[in-house]
Structure 1
C-alpha cells in the first residue's frame, strides 16, 4: 500500500468519525423507534437539528457533539506535537474542556456530557486528583471515540498503538475489559488504515501480532486458535519481569469479534434486513459490548459504501451516535477520504478545518 493510499485511508477514518458524530447529533438516544420515525421520518438521510427538550437541544445540524469536540482536541494535540504527548492532551482537557462543564449531564460543548467525562470532572475539578487517578467505571465506548485518532497515527506500529491507546483510555476508563476492547478497536482500525480488509482473516492477523509480542493480550492458543502443545510456556503476565508497557490483557477475545462479525455479514444464511436492525440484534444501549459488534458488522457489510454504513448506523436508534462514530471511522478507513460523498463534507460544520486536521494527522502515519 502506497503512502498516499495510507494517508487517504487515515484521513478517511478521522473524517468518518467526525461525520458519524454529527449525523447522530439530532436523532441521538431514541429508544422508541416509533418516536424516532415520528420526529425524523422513515429514513434519516443527513444532518438534522436536535428537537427541543432532547439531547443536544440548541445545537444545529452538522455540528459536533462533545465526543467530537474531544476527538478534535486529541487530533490537534497529535498534529501540533508530532505524536502522542499525554501531558499536552491533559493540559488541553484542563484548559479547553473542563472549565466549560459543571458536572451535570446537560452541559458543556455539544449540550451533553457523558458519564465518563462527568466523573473525570468530579475527580479532576472537585476532588483535584492528579491525572492517572481520574478513570471511572463506565462501560461505554467513550474512550474509543477519541483514541481512534491514535489508531490512525500509529497504524504501522501496533505496539506503540496499544501503549498509547491504553495510556489515554485509562484517563477516563478504569475497567480492564473496556480498555482491552478499546485497544482492540484501535488495532483493527490500524489494520484497515494499512489496507487490510475487514474480513474473516483479520483476527488471525491480529493474533499473530499477539504471539509476536506487538499486542499485549494473553493467549495460550497457537495459530488458528489451536490448543497449546505439552510443554508450551504460559505467556507472560502482569507483574512478570519486564512486562509490556501497556500490560497484558486477560483475554484476546476482543480481537476475535471483528472477524466473527465480518463472517456474519457475508454469510448467506445470516441476514439482518434492513441493516439498521443490527441495533436490535446486538442491542441499542450505550455499553461497549452492544456497540462494537454492530459497528463491526455494518463496517464489514458496507465496506465499500460509506453512505449506507453511516445511515444504517444512525437509523437504528438508541446510542446511534457512538455506533455512527465507530462505524464511520472503520468505513472511512476502508474507502478513504477521497471516496466519502461530498455532501457529508459540505454539511459538516467547520469541515475545511477538520479535513485539514485529518490530513495533517494522516501525514504522520509511519513517523516516529
Structure 2
C-alpha cells in the first residue's frame, strides 16, 4: 500500500523502526552531557556520526554504533511482536523475566547497554526482589522509557488506532503508571501511527487525532466540538469519558508543528530546541523537542537526528523519538545509508524490523 508521497506503509514502518535504533546509537557516546561546553570539548563543535563513550562517562566501554539499553528493550519488544504476530503481553513479560531481568541488578550503571533507567530499576526490584506479579510492578518515573519500546507496538498497529492505543497503554503501565506519562506516551504512539499512514506532522494533525477521539478510537476525555469549540447544550460526552482525563497530549503536536513552520518563530541552530523545551529526561521535555525536530525536518532525517544529538542532555531519547517520527515520514530509503551501515548488527536489525513492518503492511492490505 502506497501512502503520502508514494512511500509504502512497509517502508514508512521500517523507516520509523530503524530511525529509532539509529537515533539511540548516535547518542550513545555523547549521552547525558548537560554542560554543553564539555560536550563540545570532548566531541567537537558538531557530532555527525556514531561515537564511542568516554571513559568514566555513561555507557563507558561500549563501541560506536552499539545500542543502549533503550535500544535493546526496543529490540526485545520487536522480537515478541515478530514471533507472536502482534502484541502478546504474556510473551513480552516472559521475555523480560527470562531474557532481560537476569542481566541487571537494580543498579544504574550496570547491565546491557551500560545504564538502566529508573522505571526499569523499579520494575526489577518489585518483580525480582519482592516477587510481585506483572501488573503490580509499575512505578511513577516520568521518563520516556516506555515510549522508547512501545513505538514498536505503535508501528505494528499504525493502521488500527484503537488497537494501537490499547496495546501501547497495556505495555506502558507494566513499568510506568503515572497518568500523565501514560497519556503522553499513548499520544506519541498515535502520532507515529498517523505518520506511518502518510499524514503530515503539521497544524492539522491534532484535529485528525481529536476526530479519532470522537469516533471512539482513542481513549481521551473530551467534551468540545469541532476546533475545541463549546459543547452543544444537552450533548453527552462522545463517545465516553475515556481513560485519560484530558486530550491535551493530542493537541501538543499541532501547536509545536505550527511553531516549527512559522517564519516568525526560529530556534537557531535547531539543536537549541533542547534549551527551549528542556534538556532533562521527563516526557514533558522530550516529546515536545522530538515533535519540533520532526516537524521542522520532516524530509531531512539526518538534520533531525543530528540536531537532537547535538542538543546535549537526554539526547538519546530525543534522537530516538525524533528518529522514529522522521523515519516514518521519509521511509527507509530516506535514511542516509551511512547511518544504517554504521549500526552494529545492522543486518539482524533490518531483518527484525522488516518482519514487523511487514505485519503493519499486511494489516494495511487487510491481512
| TM-score when normalising by structure 2 | 0.96
Confirm or deny: 8 A CA contact 1:237 1:248 kept in the other structure. Answer: no
| Structure 2 Cα separation of the partners of residues 42 and 182 of structure 1 | 33
From 338, 342, 346, the counterpart of 1:347: 342
Tell me which residue corresponds to 1:242: none
Tell me which residue corresponds to 1:179: 182
From 211, 233, 237, the counterpart of 2:236: 233
| Structure 2 Cα separation of the partners of residues 235 and 191 of structure 1 | 22
| Structure 1 Cα separation of the partners of residues 112 and 224 of structure 2 | 46
Tell me which residue corresponds to 2:291: 296
| Structure 2 Cα separation of the partners of residues 283 and 266 of structure 1 | 20
From 319, 322, 326, the counterpart of 1:327: 322
* Cα deviation 1:221-278 (Å, max 9, x = unaligned): 111111101111135667xxxxxxxx52000000011111110011011000000000
1:103 aligns with 2:98: no
Consecutive unaligned residues of structure 2, counting only runs of 5 or more, are none
Tell me which residue corresponds to 2:44: 41
Q: Tell me the CA shift for residue 51 of structure 1.
A: 0.3
Tell me which residue corresponds to 1:2: 2
Tell me which residue corresponds to 2:65: 62
| Structure 1 Cα separation of the partners of residues 351 and 227 of structure 2 | 41
| Structure 2 Cα separation of the partners of residues 237 and 188 of structure 1 | 21
Tell me which residue corresponds to 2:358: 363
Q: Give the secondary structure class of the aligned counterpart of 2:196.
A: helix
| Structure 2 Cα separation of the partners of residues 155 and 235 of structure 1 | 23
From 259, 265, 277, the counterpart of 1:264: 259
1:145 aligns with 2:148: yes
Q: Tell me the CA shift for residue 53 of structure 1.
A: 0.5
Tell me which residue corresponds to 2:193: 190
Q: Compare 258-267 and 3-12 and name the one that shifted more.
A: 3-12
Q: Tell me the CA shift for residue 356 of structure 1.
A: 1.0
Q: Give the secondary structure class of the aligned counterpart of 2:141.
A: coil
| Structure 2 Cα separation of the partners of residues 188 and 196 of structure 1 | 9
Confirm or deny: 8 A CA contact 2:29 2:54 kept in the other structure. Answer: yes
| Structure 1 Cα separation of the partners of residues 131 and 19 of structure 2 | 35
Aligned residues: 360
| Structure 2 Cα separation of the partners of residues 90 and 171 of structure 1 | 9
Q: Give the secondary structure class of the aligned counterpart of 1:118.
A: helix
Tell me which residue corresponds to 1:211: 214
Tell me which residue corresponds to 2:126: 123
The residue correspondences of 1:242-321 to structure 2 (distance < 5 A) are 248-321=243-316
| Structure 1 Cα separation of the partners of residues 358 and 230 of structure 2 | 41
| Structure 2 Cα separation of the partners of residues 185 and 124 of structure 1 | 27
| Structure 2 Cα separation of the partners of residues 145 and 79 of structure 1 | 17
Q: Give the secondary structure class of the aligned counterpart of 1:223.
A: coil
Confirm or deny: 8 A CA contact 1:31 1:318 kept in the other structure. Answer: yes
Consecutive unaligned residues of structure 1, counting only runs of 5 or more, are 239-246
Q: Give the secondary structure class of the aligned counterpart of 1:321.
A: helix
Tell me which residue corresponds to 2:227: 224
Q: Give the secondary structure class of the aligned counterpart of 1:97.
A: helix
* Cα deviation 1:136-181 (Å, max 9, x = unaligned): 1100111000000111100110000000000000000010110000
| Structure 1 Cα separation of the partners of residues 28 and 51 of structure 2 | 7
